[in-house]
Amino acid sequence: MTVRPIRIHASVLPGIAVAAMLLLLAAALLAELAVRATGLTLAFDRELARIVAFTTMQAALSTVLSLVVGIALAWSLAHQQRFPGRGLLIAMFSAALVLPTLIVVLGLVSVLGRSGWAGDLYNAVTGRSPGFSIYGLSGILIAHTYLNASFVVRTLVNRLEAVPPENRKLAHGLGLSAWRRFRLVDWPACAPSVRGLAVTIFLLCFTSFAIVLVLGGSPRYNTLEVAIYEAVRFEFDLGRALALALVQLAVCAALVAFVGGLRATGRSIHGAATMFAHLQGPAVNRLQRTIIIAAAIAFALPLIATLIDGSRAEFSRLLAEPVFARAALTSVLIAIVSAAIVVTGSVAMALTRRQFTLANRWADARGSPLAALAMSYSASLYLVFPALVLGLGFFLLARRLGGPADLWAVAALITANVTLALPFAVAVLVPTAERAAARYDRLAVSLGLAWSTRWRAIEWPLMRADIGYVAALALCLSLGDLGVIALFGTQDFTTLPWLMYQKIGAYRTADAAGVALILLSLVLATFIFVPRLFSGARHAAP
Amino acid sequence: MLRLEDVRFAYSHAADAPRFRFDMGVEPGTIAGVIGASGTGKSTLLDLIAGFQTPQAGRVVIDGEQVTGLPPAQRPVSILFQNHNLFEHLSALENVVLGLAPRRRPTAADKETAAAALARVGLAGFEDHPALNLSGGQAQRVALARTLARRSRVLLLDEPFSALDEDNRADLTPLVRAAVTEHGGAGVLVTHDLNDCERLADRILEIRDGQLHEVG
């Protein structure tokens, strides 16, 4: 095979520029952390080892639980195509990705907390108070499983529905048991995604902040992210913060290198596959329906609790508070700017990355695999530099370079939001861009279409629905994020999640529930309506 | 041997949903070929015989016994699809053995029977080959070996040659015929390719307007 050199073409420059900026940002942050580390006594002590051990343990347990629950639920949903309300459930699990973690935490506390619904019910039935506490490891695991099992479901239902019907017919025709059908037909369909899912979930739980901050309850249950936050915010011990950050960075970088970034998860899950639920036998059908019902209740209850608790808030007073108006305005403005950057950056990266993977472009050219890999890794920056490590980098830069603190805070927040949404955005848009090009690239080249004509006639109609989804995703993730703001938040510079956290900390639970309800409404409305702004021409999708 | 008696089926109650009404009989040791354009109901016919769909009325009878309400695994039926006939992560031998011992641990005798079936379709020495690495023709042979080993009374052939080249079609034709005829069983071949039908079938029917019509 002749190996061709890559010719740099103007069409790939935007994507390369975005990747280069991200890698430059990573290098700058790394340099800042490393430079500062040389001037400080890093506290690599037993306490740090204990935090690392707990962070790893809770992430590993959360990953296993999320996978077990997610696989069982995906298997059940994929096979029960006619389950009443299946479409609504699927929409709910799709939306879990954008639910602000603090809202999930608040909802779980309302249901499973000391005076929560479950405790009251247990008390009414047994006359005793439950020994269970939502605060501590169990609460952390439940919240992580709640959010990440949905992520597993989103990915695996698609995989299970893509199994050729012939394979399912064969398994039923041979009379294989339910367990053997799972092992021979369902599991092989899921297995290729499970390693990527496991590493991604482990990373997300390893770098979990808001959940551990609220549900951890004591320093015993601190993860690295929370420990960084406490070292900067309360102890102002930069040596400890840097040691924690560097350990976190090393683990995350190793794992990202291992898995190579997020895999495509698809825009939504939907079902039109051929399943044979009527042939499964009553016990298997009962099991699947029980799993779906249990998961639906477990998923819906915290959200219902948020709605009910929130509706009791004193909205006239809450909305009139100047701090609320400031928080809402800051949240919305930062979300819009972040989403615009995410959409522009991810489209540029998707259109560029396909040039390095398409057979009729440069897939066989020298350096193409490296270029494609560099683009994947640059898009996965957040997984290496989670919110608090990134925030710490900006914090140190701000202290060294000076300038208006608010400006640094805004820059840090937007950067964190962009890097948070980018892996998901790229994972959605790259396959779409590749499919569009695989179908029309030769035709477009043979017709000699100009770049702008090609975008208008091919890419935009085929990608607009996914771009709408990416815009909604970026807006929602940005609106609900409680990460960097924890380092930079003040009374004047605040966002809705930070305001909610402050109200929880001040035991103003009703106010916190009110803010949660407003934030939840804002996020869900964005997730439902923003994609519609981009809808149309969906029929053109390949 | 195989009879469909006034079998009626529709996927939904909607007024515009296609409705099927099948009547047919296949004698022992013969293959009935069924042709028809895409979407006319060829696969539906096979699904009704195999038990993947249950008719709203009528009877499916095999060897004089009504099987209409039985699940697929309890019918003496094997199916050969166009592709996806094998579990790709299993070896050729494991795929054949699975047909002999779907619900129990395979015995040494099962493995011997499976190996003999593989040898019969020209795949001796391929026992440990992963199904994923087999060519299209080899994969169809493994599936056929499984069918031969199972000795099912009815063999359903769902466009089994569509993905194969002419050489493979010529090689596989006598093997398919043998799988049907040597135990006095019956075969139903559905295809859109008249040449395949003429090559393999003893008589030809066409699905038109949801019903079967004899054409040759």
Complex-level ipTM: 0.78
Is the pLDDT score of A38 beyond 80? no
Q: Which residues on chain A are in Cβ contact (under 8 Å) with B81?
A: 166, 169-170
The domains of chain A are located at 11-37+58-261+292-534
The alpha carbon of residue A279 is apart from the nearest alpha carbon of chain B, in Å, by 7
Q: Residue holding tokens 């103007």?
A: A10
**A298 contacts: CB under 8 Å, gap ≥ 6:** A146
The alpha carbon of residue A273 is apart from the nearest alpha carbon of chain B, in Å, by 14
Q: Which residues on chain A are in Cβ contact (under 8 Å) with B71?
A: 172, 175, 279
Q: Which residue of A has its CA nearest to B76?
A: A173
3-class secondary structure for A80-105? Answer: CCCCCCHHHHHHHHHHHHHCCHHHHH
Q: Does B85 touch chain A (CB under 8 A)?
A: yes
Q: Which residue of B has its CA nearest to A170?
A: B85
Given pLDDT bands bounded at 50, 70 and 90, which one contains residue A388? confident
Asked if B52 and A176 come within 8 Å (Cβ–Cβ), the reply is: no
CA-CA distance, A495 to B216, in Å (whole number)? 78
Asked if B103 and A177 come within 8 Å (Cβ–Cβ), the reply is: yes
Looking at the DSSP assignment, which residues form a beta bridge with residue B191?
B35
Q: Does A177 touch chain B (CB under 8 A)?
A: yes
Least confident stretch, A198-202, A265-269, A379-383, B165-169 = A265-269
Asked if B79 and A173 come within 8 Å (Cβ–Cβ), the reply is: yes
Asked if A169 and B54 come within 8 Å (Cβ–Cβ), the reply is: no
Of A164, A167, A175, the CB nearest to B73: A175
Q: Does B83 touch chain A (CB under 8 A)?
A: yes
Residue B105 DSSP label? P
Is the pLDDT score of A52 beyond 70? yes
Asked if B98 and A176 come within 8 Å (Cβ–Cβ), the reply is: yes
Question: Which residue would you say has higher pLDDT here, A71 or B15?
Answer: A71
Helix or strand run (H / E) with residue A266: none
Helix or strand run (H / E) with residue B61: strand B57-62
Task: Give me the pLDDT at residue A268, please.
Answer: 45
Helix axes A460-480, A322-353, angle to 10 degrees: 140
CA-CA distance, A441 to A464, in Å (whole number)? 18
**B135 contacts: CB under 8 Å, gap ≥ 6:** none
Contact residues, A window 257-276, toward B, CB-based 8 Å cutoff: 276
Chain segment B189-199, per-residue pLDDT in tens: 999 888 888 88
Q: Which residues on chain B are in Cβ contact (under 8 Å) with A170?
A: 79, 81, 84-85, 87
Helix or strand run (H / E) with residue A70: helix A46-79
- Tell me what percent of the residues of chain A surpass a pLDDT of 90: 33
Is the pLDDT score of A212 beyond 90? yes
Given pLDDT bands bounded at 50, 70 and 90, which one contains residue A453? confident
Question: Which residue would you say has higher pLDDT here, B101 or A288?
Answer: A288
Sheet holding B203-208, edge to edge: B65-66, B57-62, B2-10, B19-26, B211-214, B203-208, B30-35, B186-191, B154-158, B77-80
Range A374-384 average pLDDT = 76
Could you tell me if A102 and A500 are in contact, meaning their C-beta atoms sit under 8 angstroms apart? yes
Q: Residue holding tokens 């309302």?
A: A110
The residue type at A316? S
Given pLDDT bands bounded at 50, 70 and 90, which one contains residue A271? very low
The alpha carbon of residue B3 is apart from the nearest alpha carbon of chain A, in Å, by 19
3-class secondary structure for A482-499? Answer: CCCHHHHCCCCCCCHHHH
Task: Give me the pLDDT at residue A154, please.
Answer: 81
Which of B8, B2, B4 minimizes the C-alpha distance to B27? B2
The alpha carbon of residue A436 is apart from the nearest alpha carbon of chain B, in Å, by 27
Which of A451, A91, A513 minimizes the C-alpha distance to A300? A91
Given pLDDT bands bounded at 50, 70 and 90, which one contains residue A540? very low
Q: Which residue of A has its CA nearest to B155?
A: A173
Q: Does B54 touch chain A (CB under 8 A)?
A: yes
Q: For CA atoms B193, B198, B199, B205, give the dihedral sign.
A: positive
Best of B48, B84, B86, B88 to mutate (most A CBs within 10 Å, chain A): B84
**A402 contacts: CB under 8 Å, gap ≥ 6:** none
Which of B14, B99, B8 minimizes the C-alpha distance to B48? B8
Q: Does B79 touch chain A (CB under 8 A)?
A: yes
Between chain A and chain B, the number of residue pairs with CB atoms below 8 A apart is 61
Range B65-92 average pLDDT = 88
CA-CA distance, A210 to A489, in Å (whole number)? 14
Note the residue count of chain A: 542
Question: Strand, coil or helix: what is B157?
Answer: strand
Asked if A278 and B89 come within 8 Å (Cβ–Cβ), the reply is: no
Task: Give me the pLDDT at residue A211, please.
Answer: 93
The alpha carbon of residue B84 is apart from the nearest alpha carbon of chain A, in Å, by 6
Looking at the DSSP assignment, which residues form a beta bridge with residue B31?
B187
Could you tell me if A269 and A154 are in contact, meaning their C-beta atoms sit under 8 angstroms apart? yes
Alpha helices in A175-223 (DSSP H): 178-181, 187-206, 210-215
Task: Give me the pLDDT at residue A149, please.
Answer: 93
Task: Give me the pLDDT at residue B167, please.
Answer: 85
Given pLDDT bands bounded at 50, 70 and 90, which one contains residue A363? low
Asked if A173 and B85 come within 8 Å (Cβ–Cβ), the reply is: no
Best of A163, A166, A190 to mutate (most B CBs within 10 Å, chain B): A166
DSSP string across A400-454: HH-S-HHHHHHHHHHHHHHHHHHHHHHHHHHHHHHHHHHHHHHHHHHHT--HHHH
Is the pLDDT score of A14 beyond 70? yes
Q: Does A279 touch chain B (CB under 8 A)?
A: yes
The alpha carbon of residue A190 is apart from the nearest alpha carbon of chain B, in Å, by 13
Asked if B73 and A188 come within 8 Å (Cβ–Cβ), the reply is: no
pTM above 0.95, yes or no: no
Q: Which residue of B has its CA nearest to A274?
A: B52
Asked if B98 and A279 come within 8 Å (Cβ–Cβ), the reply is: no
Is the pLDDT score of A265 beyond 90? no
CA-CA distance, B37 to B193, in Å (whole number)? 9
Q: Which residues on chain B are in Cβ contact (under 8 Å) with A276?
A: 52
Asked if B74 and A279 come within 8 Å (Cβ–Cβ), the reply is: no
| A485 CB burial (10 A radius; 0-12, 13-18, 19+) | buried
Which of A411, A410, A524, A541 minimizes the C-alpha distance to A467? A541
Q: Which residues on chain B are in Cβ contact (under 8 Å) with A167?
A: 84, 87
Task: Give me the pLDDT at residue A131, please.
Answer: 77
Looking at the DSSP assignment, which residues form a beta bridge with residue B26?
B2
Q: Which residues on chain B are in Cβ contact (under 8 Å) with A273?
A: none
**A504 contacts: CB under 8 Å, gap ≥ 6:** A102, A106, A214, A512
Mean pLDDT of the residues in chain A: 84
Angle at A316 between CA A311 and CA A321, to 5 degrees: 115
Which of B168, B90, B157 minimizes the C-alpha distance to B129? B90
CA-CA distance, A151 to A58, in Å (whole number)? 18
CA-CA distance, A265 to A425, in Å (whole number)? 10
Lookup: tokens for A182: 């799972």
Q: Which residue of A has its CA nearest to B97?
A: A174
Instruction: Give residue A221's Cα distance to chain centre.
Output: 22
Is the pLDDT score of A404 beyond 90? no
Is the pLDDT score of A281 beyond 90? no
Angle at B196 between CA B191 and CA B197, to 5 degrees: 70
Looking at the DSSP assignment, which residues form a beta bridge with residue B212?
B207
Q: Which residue of B has its CA nearest to A184?
A: B87
Of A164, A173, A279, the CB nearest to B84: A164
Q: Which residues on chain A are in Cβ contact (under 8 Å) with B99?
A: 174
Given pLDDT bands bounded at 50, 70 and 90, which one contains residue A260? low
The alpha carbon of residue A61 is apart from the nearest alpha carbon of chain B, in Å, by 29
CA-CA distance, A372 to A367, in Å (whole number)? 9
Is the pLDDT score of A298 beyond 90? yes
Looking at the DSSP assignment, which residues form a beta bridge with residue B10?
B19
Q: Residue holding tokens 């890999």?
A: A373
Q: Does A183 touch chain B (CB under 8 A)?
A: no
Asked if A184 and B87 come within 8 Å (Cβ–Cβ), the reply is: yes
DSSP string across B184-207: T-EEEEEES-HHHHHHH-SEEEEE
Best of B81, B86, B104, B157 to mutate (most A CBs within 10 Å, chain A): B81
Superfamily of domain A11-37+58-261+292-534: MetI-like (1.10.3720.10)
Q: Which residue of A has its CA nearest to B82?
A: A166
The alpha carbon of residue A166 is apart from the nearest alpha carbon of chain B, in Å, by 6
Task: Give me the pLDDT at residue A361, please.
Answer: 62
CA-CA distance, B36 to B40, in Å (whole number)? 6
Residue A3 DSSP label? P
Looking at the DSSP assignment, which residues form a beta bridge with residue A5?
A366
Least confident stretch, A368-382, A451-465, B79-93 = A368-382
CA-CA distance, A321 to A512, in Å (whole number)? 13
Residue B162 DSSP label? T
Asked if B87 and A188 come within 8 Å (Cβ–Cβ), the reply is: yes
Q: Residue holding tokens 């092989």?
A: A188
Q: Which residue of A has its CA nearest to B69?
A: A279
State the CB neighbour count (10 A cutoff) for residue B210.
Answer: 16
